[in-house]
Amino acid sequence: MSEPLVIRQPQLGEDYERVTQELTGAFSHMRAAVLEERPVVVVLDDRDLLGQGAVADAALATGLLGLVRAFALEGARAGWRVNALTHRGEETDLAQCLEHLADGGLSGQLIRVGTEHLGRVWP
């Protein structure tokens, strides 16, 4: 297996100008990787994907997920493997998840790591 490209979502806070820069950079890196037949895994903050953080962070997270799905669709016949992984930072070691997504036969998938998204946990 080729070395996967792992793109980690940076936190932008209120820096709205960087959203376009980050998406453009991610697109370029993803394109280069899939043309080299390397798998791509984009790591997102789960809270941002759900719109629970800053607006710029939410825009970037959803934009990156859109890129994942577009690349997976466009590269389906060519066998491109492009996936996304969300987490809440402190929950788990992501290494095994990254390896599975990069090496597995999945493409265009969003894998959520952790249990926070399942609902309220009662004491």
pLDDT at 74: 95
H or E element at residue 7: strand 5-8
pLDDT at 50: 85
pLDDT at 109: 76
pLDDT at 55: 94
| CATH 3.90.580.10 for the 5-116 domain, yes or no | no
Residue type, 36: E
pLDDT per residue over 98-113, tens digit each? 666 666 677 777 777 7
Please, are residues 33 and 5 in contact by the beta-carbon 8 Å criterion?
yes
Please, are residues 49 and 62 in contact by the beta-carbon 8 Å criterion?
yes
pLDDT at 86: 87
Beta bridge partners of 41: 6, 83
Region of residue 42 (phi > 0: left; psi between -120 and 50: alpha; otherwise: beta): beta
Domain boundaries, the chain: 5-116
Instruction: Enumerate residue ranges in the chain where pLDDT < 70.
Output: 1, 89-104, 114-123
pLDDT at 76: 93
Predicted TM-score (pTM) of the model is 0.84
